[in-house]
A = this chain, B = another copy of it.
Amino acid sequence: MFFASDNSGSVPQQVLESLARANEGYAMGYGGDALSQQVTDKIRTLFEAPEAAVHLVPTGTAANVLSLACLCPPYATVFCSPVAHIHEDECNAPEFFTGGAKLTLVGDADRMSPEALRAAIENEETRGVHGPKRGPVSITQVTERGNVYSMDELRALTAVARDYGLPVHLDGARFSNAAVKLGVTPAEMSWKIGVDICVFGGTKNGLMGVEAVVIFDADKAAEFEYRRKRGALLFSKHRYLAAQMDAYLTDNLWHDLASRANARCDQALQGLKGAGVTVLNDTHANMIFFEMPRAAHRAVQEAGAVYHLWGSPEGPDNEAVMGRLVFDWSLEPEAVSAFVAAVRAAV
């Protein structure tokens, strides 16, 4: 009954096997090996973008902040959700890698609305050089509160960015979960709707630590490479990043893993219906945000469920507390069933 994070589960056997296969003989470093090149080609094919630059990095933060650094000069501002990972969970890494750019928080909701985005953009560059220049729009799909933007919602946001000539970054740490949920292809959820740099996440979906940054604007490709190196993020033994990603791309493993995670989420949603739990997010991929009485929370935890709680476990029994369930690929259906049963017993 482990729902604390999708960075806590094991990796599938295919990844270990791919690492073992890649561990043969000598290979040129820093991405100069054959496997790294093959992976680049496979991602270009997957994204239907034969000219795209593709770079692998070991963390999601790295993927995001190197992308933003290519899109945002230090005297500009990034438009993002107030709960975006880049704002709340990267310890000023975007500010660091951009050389001191600002983040402008759009609206007060998890999902940015096109209206709020337009208002936030309009509010900048009204004071000449006194405020920052307008910079990129950063969209998180799946959002940090577990929602999936619809394709129409995404198109509405990128349309606003386009109105102002601003580039678009997609934080796709859970790209696969969203694509599965929406039933769209990687190309459809990226360059076809106006995304300039897309993070195709692997770590939260079953890899040890690899994200692919797919850059559709070839002008940014060389800059990205310099920034990755000076960011201490270029692997010398690059084949071990490539090997993980190669497994991910083989037989649509990325799609399969995300489908499994999303299925566990659906199972839980079904199970929780009528169980006295309020589900807070309205669309779902592999996360559920919920409220239930604190006493029930305590009982569920005592039954062995592990998940993240917003706020304190101590306090009045009847007060509602907010929790987050994250479903990863490796979760067993039995664990979900047990959790549902525990909730039903507790509420």
Contacts and interface: CB of A to CB of B under 8 A. Distances in A.
A222 to B, nearest CB: 8
Interface string A14-44: 0010011001111111100000000000000
A8 interface: yes
A246 interface: no
Identical chains in the assembly: 4
Interface string A225-237: 1111111111111
B93 A230 contact: yes
A158 B163 CA distance: 41
Nearest to A10: B23
B127 A209 contact: no
Nearest to A7: B236
The residue in A29, A91, A128, A223 that gathers the most chain B C-beta atoms within 10 A of its C-beta is A91
Contacts of A25: 10
Contact of A91 (B23, B88, B229): B229
Nearest to A69: B74
Given A10-B24, A74-B95, 19 more contacts: A5-B236, A11-B237, A11-B240, A16-B23, A19-B19, A30-B129, A59-B235, A61-B232, A65-B232, A92-B132, A93-B230, A95-B95, A95-B101, A96-B231, A99-B100, A129-B225, A130-B229, A209-B235, A233-B233
